[in-house]
Amino acid sequence: MIRLASWIIGSLLVAALAAWIISLPGTLTLEFAGYRMQPRLGTAVVLLLIAAALVIAVWAIIRRLIGAPGAMARRRAAKRREQGVEALSDAVVALQSGDPARARLMAREAQARMPENSAAKLLEARADLALGDMPAAREHYRALIASEKTAIAALTGLYDQARAQNRPEAALTFARKALALAPDSSWAGEAVFEDLTQRGQWAEAVAMVNAEIVSTREAKAKKRRKQAVIETARARENEISQPNSALDHALTALKLLPDFVPAALIAARIYISRGEGRRAQSLLRRIWRATGHPDVAALYAHSQSGASAVERLKRLRELIELPAPHRAAAMALARAAIDAYDWPLARQALDPFAGADATQGVATLMAEIEEGQSGDQGKAREWLARAVRAPRDPAWTADGIVSDEWEPLSPITGKLDAFEWKVPVSTTTRPTPLPPAESVGLPQLPQTEPALPLAPAGNPQ
């Protein structure tokens, strides 16, 4: 309604202005080529306005005619670009749909219509890689490295190609180049970091972790754990050759993760070898209260060099009271009691856990108790038979591999911090067969508590 009223008012004003101009008094004399005209002043103004409008209209037509070829070229370019964008979109869809042949065809069509478009070139290279045309993919990617805009994407493609061709050295080279160009590149950083850890270059690896900038609480916790694992790996590597340096690394790891069992075990072993048994015991008591890990109890029992089995049992009784708070504590106490030939104590410790849900470790220890206390071969064999079928005890496990002690890397995948203390899902070893009835001795099943290592095992291959 307001617009209609405004239009009407505007029209009336224009009409009034035109009427006023036409009614202006006076005449205007014009002479041109021997002709003389004397129109009224208002009429002359109107004629002048009409002439100006005609000139403008003629000039617009002439301009349109002169610019027609350029306009047609721009329309053709816009249409080609529209078709190129559509082809590019089809290429993306085809590649994601698992049709790399069509993706390559559409990418080439997009390049034909948009020669300067980098996305089309990258899509063609990715399609070549998916089709297994490695030489073509390599040429496309290498051509894209020259541009700062596409260098990282090209290096990503070359890295994927090298990994697909099982060329780890080439893949690492591309990852290092990408990391140099873009320090924030996550895939490149992970690739270089993984290579450093697998080569055992722990100083460089921890330097990379220290350089990471994290903001969230979760990211900070992951960073601290990664640092602690690397420091523990350094301590483990130097425990024999450079014990003082190894102790520093182990204590650094414990500052980052106060309850990290592998670091605590290394530090305690070094304290024991230096004759600082009290410091080792203090550390192990703290870790035991926090984790209840059986390796901690075993090392605590051996914290005094040259101690007899009875003395080891006495020392462990300081750490574990009956009834044992959990299965690991009961097994550790029973192991020490068996070594000291204190059969009643060993049986008392295991009784709460020797029911239907007894694990392999409990069943094996009970077999030793039956054999050692009463020489009852029948009961001992019953426990050994149960041990074969019983659930397994927790162990250091990574990718289905069980290790006697913690290792920093998985021997299968090379992943850092892969070993976990948990019940193994499966085993690659066969159970020890039962001996014939006339056999006097008992077969030795795998010990649930591994023998105490005074020195770390060699680095995983």
Q: pLDDT by residue (tens digit) across 143-187?
A: 787 777 788 888 888 888 788 878 888 888 888 888 888 888 888
Q: Where are the alpha helices (DSSP H) in 146-293?
A: 151-164, 168-181, 186-198, 202-211, 217-238, 243-256, 261-273, 277-291
Give the pLDDT confidence score for residue 28 in this predicted structure.
65
Give the pLDDT confidence score for residue 66 in this predicted structure.
87
pLDDT at residue 317 is higher than 70: yes
Q: Band of the pLDDT at 336, cuts 50, 70, 90?
A: very high
Give the pLDDT confidence score for residue 362 in this predicted structure.
95
Q: What angle do CA 423, 428, 429 make, to 5 degrees?
A: 95
Domain boundaries, the chain: 83-191
Q: Band of the pLDDT at 97, cuts 50, 70, 90?
A: confident
| Residue carrying the six token digits 């996550």 | 186
Averaged pLDDT, 362-385: 92
Contacts of 318 (CB under 8 A, 6+ apart): none
- Bridging pattern class, strands 35-37 and 30-32: antiparallel
Averaged pLDDT, 94-109: 85
Is the domain spanning 83-191 CATH 1.25.40.10? The answer is yes
Averaged pLDDT, 339-358: 93
pLDDT at residue 253 is higher than 70: yes
pLDDT > 90 fraction of the chain, expressed in percent and rounded = 43
Q: pLDDT by residue (tens digit) across 176-207?
A: 888 888 888 888 888 899 889 988 999 999 99
Kindly report the number of other CB atoms within 10 A of residue 268's CB atom.
25
Averaged pLDDT, 299-325: 91
Q: pLDDT by residue (tens digit) across 397-451?
A: 999 899 999 999 999 988 999 999 999 975 444 444 444 433 333 334 344 444 3
Q: What angle do CA 352, 427, 440 make, to 5 degrees?
A: 65
Q: pLDDT by residue (tens digit) across 22-56?
A: 676 767 676 766 777 777 767 777 777 788 889 89
Q: Band of the pLDDT at 88, cuts 50, 70, 90?
A: confident
What Cα–Cα distance (Å) separates residue 340 from each residue in 336, 409, 452?
6, 36, 16
